[in-house]
Chains A and B, each alone.
Chain A
């Protein structure tokens, strides 16, 4: 195990986060606060409680997920895309580092940043609305699984993308819609039956539902199913990353 290498990459990535503090922490916190003001306070005051939870509180887990997903993907994809873009990746590829170590370092750093962000958003939220966490251990588990899974997804996107447009494409065209339609701002039971069924094909539904369950004990789908789907998605991402490194896809001509 080349621990020095993992540490070097991890620290480098964390240093990058510090350099871009506005982008990596301040702007997501600001936009999440805006959601609270608009949806929680302005619109939410006209929406009745959802299954015994005030609307402002109800949207907190979903909002956290929204920020975690987008930021995990953004951090991890940029972290690997940029050295590919500048050519500085040669150093990592020519070093005595295993693929596993490379992934652990890059994805670990991206996941760490998202976790920190999640905690900050949670603290911010608790200033706006009353919160309770019924299953704290599960909450932490869902938090970890989500940040790692979506950091892996970001890593994959960062390797697949060969220009800046593609780098933005997946988050914009796929992830953001899925998150908004994934029950971030509503309970699926509020939808007509047909759309309820359609929604079940959206992986984000399971994440949000499971995460919300860990807060309030209310869920759209079984928590066990949420966990299962999250693990499945994690497995798929791990498989794709393994394939990338085995074939040298986009990394080694």
Chain B
């Protein structure tokens, strides 16, 4: 894909071999569109954090090129990094500072003049305003995670990386975070999040990427992915095997199992009238008795598992 005005992040031919020879990324190519929410899924050790760390300047790439907002992350690191907010996977915060100072500190690091109003807004949106003058080491784990988000938002980034934002976070806070991310998207911020939770990707993302053993194995629009997955199957278990599908039922494109004991009907889950009653009626009319029926739907989880198992 040629980077265009709508490309916020472009990763091309990116590889990483760590000292010691371990290859964490293999020729990764990825384009992220401006304003989208992108979920990067992958098992432990797949290379998600490595990829994010290279983009943010924490790890040196072995080869390849990355641009953020059109700026090269090495040659033009100031412009590139100025656009980025990073919420790391690990809870790493200064212990003795207060949240309000910590957030102001980050804003300063990113070269922005002090803006107490913005910092108040960010702290309030993450329900940390009441704790603003407490020492960070007295905050709970969930509060620390929110503080890391507040720090990442302190300088009004245009692209936000959330590395497993909801790991170890309770349900309520998770919902709050999702709402926050949607709010950011409304303001035009591009969001990239990594997660192990498929529901989270399903719930949040516009597009989904799957990474495994350092390779991107799939990138797809969520809607399209869900559409593909939106196939349902009705399986009819027959009383007695049949030799062939009655011609009267040809319209249903039924599949007969080799043993002749089950019939499978595949249909679109989004269709209002898949004609199941008619099909069963047709079977009756053709004198085919059945003992059981069941339906199945493949999920994102299924393809994820099948991709990663390969």
Which A residues contact B (CB, under 8 angstroms)? 2-5, 7-9, 12, 15-16, 19, 83, 86-88, 90-98, 248, 252-253
Going nearest first, the 3 A-B pairs with the smallest beta carbon separation are: A8-B108, A87-B92, A95-B109
Given A93-B57, A94-B57, A95-B109, the answer on whether A253 and B88 have CB atoms closer than 8 Å is: no
Chain B residue, CB-CB nearest to A248: B60
Most chain A CB atoms below 10 A, which of B57, B78, B80, B109: B109
C-alpha spacing A7/B104, complex, angstroms: 11
* Chain A residues whose C-beta falls within 8 Å of the C-beta of B151 in the assembled complex: 91
29 contacts between A and B (CB under 8 A): A3-B111, A4-B108, A4-B109, A4-B113, A5-B108, A5-B110, A8-B108, A8-B109, A15-B97, A15-B101, A16-B96, A83-B94, A86-B93, A87-B88, A87-B92, A88-B93, A90-B56, A90-B58, A90-B92, A91-B106, A91-B109, A91-B151, A92-B109, A93-B57, A94-B58, A96-B79, A98-B78, A253-B59, A253-B60
Minimum Cβ distance to chain A for residue B162 (Å): 14
* Chain A residues whose C-beta falls within 8 Å of the C-beta of B101 in the assembled complex: 15
C-alpha spacing A208/B78, complex, angstroms: 42
User: Within residues 88 to 107 of chain B, which ones have a CB less than 8 A from any CB in chain A?
Assistant: 88, 90, 92-97, 101, 104-107
> Could you tell me if A94 and B56 are in contact, using CB atoms closer than 8 angstroms?
yes
Q: How many residues of B contact A (CB 8 A)?
A: 35
* Chain A residues whose C-beta falls within 8 Å of the C-beta of B58 in the assembled complex: 90, 93-94, 252
Most chain A CB atoms below 10 A, which of B82, B107, B108: B108
C-alpha spacing A225/B64, complex, angstroms: 50
Minimum Cβ distance to chain A for residue B50 (Å): 9
Chain A residue, CB-CB nearest to B19: A253
> Could you tell me if B95 and A86 are in contact, using CB atoms closer than 8 angstroms?
yes
* Chain B residues whose C-beta falls within 8 Å of the C-beta of A83 in the assembled complex: 94
Which of B59, B78, B82, B92 contacts A86, CB < 8 Å? Answer: B92
C-alpha spacing A8/B96, complex, angstroms: 16
Chain A residue, CB-CB nearest to B92: A87
* Chain A residues whose C-beta falls within 8 Å of the C-beta of B82 in the assembled complex: 96
* Chain A residues whose C-beta falls within 8 Å of the C-beta of B95 in the assembled complex: 86
Asked if B48 lies at the interface with its beta carbon under 8 angstroms from chain A, I say no
Asked if B77 lies at the interface with its beta carbon under 8 angstroms from chain A, I say yes
> Could you tell me if B105 and A95 are in contact, using CB atoms closer than 8 angstroms?
no
Chain B residue, CB-CB nearest to A12: B105
Asked if B86 lies at the interface with its beta carbon under 8 angstroms from chain A, I say yes
Chain B residue, CB-CB nearest to A251: B58
Minimum Cβ distance to chain B for residue A81 (Å): 14
Chain B residue, CB-CB nearest to A253: B59
Most chain B CB atoms below 10 A, which of A4, A83, A95: A95
For the A-B complex with A86-B93, A93-B58, A94-B81 known, give 16 more contacts whose Cβ atoms are closer than 8 Å: A3-B111, A4-B108, A4-B110, A4-B111, A4-B113, A8-B107, A12-B105, A87-B90, A90-B86, A94-B57, A94-B86, A95-B109, A248-B60, A252-B60, A253-B19, A253-B59
